[in-house]
């Protein structure tokens, strides 16, 4: 069965850092582009980052560019999101979602998310 499991969320002070992980199972990880999408409390979905199946290309939303870094480890079937200089507005539920690299199937599987709270 296909699974994406996010972890690494928590409470962090403004200006702090956090590293999120997303562990994939049940599918050929190397065939999928991976994305991070977040949802602030009571708000809609906001895409924040994309990494191609081989580690590139990499894209970021303007709201996180220069502060967040996406990476992946094929040996661990995992994708990561290193977040620094965190702000209150980064408080959200962070989802990872897969995207088949060779067809237009969209973000077809999502994890349950991990919560990041930025507060003093």
By CB under 8 A, residue 107 contacts other proteins: yes
Task: Quote the CA–CA distance of 85 and 79 in Å, as a whole number.
Answer: 20
- Beta-bridge partners for 25: 3
Contact criterion met (CB below 8 Å) for 107 and 85:
no
Contact criterion met (CB below 8 Å) for 103 and 49:
no
Rule CB under 8 A: choose which of 47, 67, 82, 101 binds other proteins.
Answer: 47
Residue whose CB is less far from other proteins, 1 or 62 = 62
Q: Quickly count: other Cβ atoms within 10 Å of residue 74's Cβ.
A: 11
By CB under 8 A, residue 60 contacts other proteins: yes
Region of 13-21, 42-50, 70-78, 83-91 interacting with other proteins (CB under 8 A): 42-50
Residues that bind other proteins (CB under 8 A): 35, 37, 44-47, 50, 59-62, 95, 97, 104-113
């Amino acid at each position: 069965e296909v699974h994406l499991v996010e972890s690494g969320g928590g409470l962090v002070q403004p200006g702090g850092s956090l590293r999120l992980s997303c562990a994939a199972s049940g599918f050929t990880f190397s065939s999928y582009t991976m994305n991070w999408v977040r949802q602030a409390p009571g708000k809609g979905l906001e895409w924040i980052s994309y990494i191609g199946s081989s580690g590139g290309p990499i894209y970021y939303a303007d709201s996180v560019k220069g502060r967040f870094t996406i990476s992946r480890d094929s040996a661990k079937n995992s994708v990561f999101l290193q977040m620094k200089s965190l702000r209150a507005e980064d408080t959200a539920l962070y989802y990872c979602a897969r995207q088949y690299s060779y067809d237009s199937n969209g973000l077809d599987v999502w994890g349950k998310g991990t919560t990041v709270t930025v507060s003093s």
